[in-house]
Every structure is written in structure tokens, then in C-alpha cells.
Amino acid sequence: MRTVLRKTSRRGFTAFEALLASTILALIAGAVAAAISAGQQQTEMARDTVNASLLARSLMDEIERLPYADPQGTTTWGPDWGETSRRLYDNIDDYANYTDGPNNIADLSGTNYPSDFQNFTRTVSMTATSYTPASFGRTVSGVLVTVTVSSNGQSLITLQRFLSQ
């Protein structure tokens, strides 16, 4: 009788196959982590833009509620004597060159905004100008009010409004 030798194949992974599978898994995990990180950064940027927009709009609303002319008759821009807080401002030019933040942004009553809003800076600039609407037929004098909200030196939101005399 003749003896036949059969080759038996080994089953399982070789060290090389295990190393290759580990490398592929690490690359996939890195790609997933990068995608998650990019998504999180975009979410944070969107949140910051919304918060900056709310801060800009609230400050512009404060300015727009006031009269154009100073009740005391002064013509210099900026807060008048005795107007030591925004609650005491009595006309729009009191906000000229106004800045607040970071870490001290409050509403008109003096209540600080939540911590998510405290890393911003709000600035107000004003420019005397005139505007001639096409359908109006005459020139209107006023002030172009610009409210800018920035974070870490980068402007996020800029609102502009022309306020007439």
C-alpha cells in the first residue's frame, strides 16, 4: 500500500496580515476622527456666528430706540458728561466709538450675557453722511451706524444702519 502525504494548510492570520489589517483600521479611524473634528469645528463656527448676530442686533436695537438729536443740545459725539453707562445714554451719538467685551458684555440693564457670549467684542462706529433715495427726490442727512462683533480679532458680523436726522 502506498502512503499518500497530504499537505495541510494552516488556517489563521500571519503576522503580516495582522499588521496590514491593523494599519488599515488605524487609517480608517484617523479619517473618521478627522471628519468628526471638522464637523465639530463647523458647528462651533455656526454657533459663534449666531451668537455674534444676536449681540450685534441687540446693540443696534439699543441705538435705534434713541432720538437722533441730543436732548441737552450738545453736538459732540460720544457720551456726554454724566453718561457713565449705556442706561444713561440719551441719543444715538452717545454710542460713537463704544466698545465692550470680551468678558464684560451685558444687556442694557447691566445683566451679563451667558458665558457663551463673553468671548466676543462689540464695537460701534458712526459716520455723518447723507442719502438720496431714488424715489424720494431729496437728500436726507443722518448717521451711518456700524456695529461689528468680533472674536479673537476676526470680524464675525457687521450690521449697518442709516439713521436720519
Averaged pLDDT for residues 4-22: 74
The answer to whether the bond into 102 is cis (omega within 30° of 0) is yes
Higher pLDDT among residues 64 and 14, named by residue: 64
Furthest CA-CA distance within the chain: 126
147 in Cβ contact with 50 (< 8 Å)? no
Confidence of residue 132 (pLDDT cuts 50, 70, 90): confident
Residue 10 scores a pLDDT above 70: no
Domain spans of the chain? 15-164
Q: What is the dihedral of CA 67, 86, 121, 150, to 10 degrees?
A: -10
Pick the closest to residue 120 from 39, 53, 61 (CA basis).
53
∠ CA 3-6-8 to the nearest 5 degrees?
150
Long-range contacts of 110-113 (CB under 8 A, 24+ apart): 110/85, 113/55
pLDDT in tens, 35-81: 888 777 787 888 889 999 999 999 999 999 999 888 887 778 888 88
C-alpha cell at 95: 454710542
Q: What percent of the chain has pLDDT over 90?
A: 42
Helix (H) or strand (E) holding 142: strand 140-151
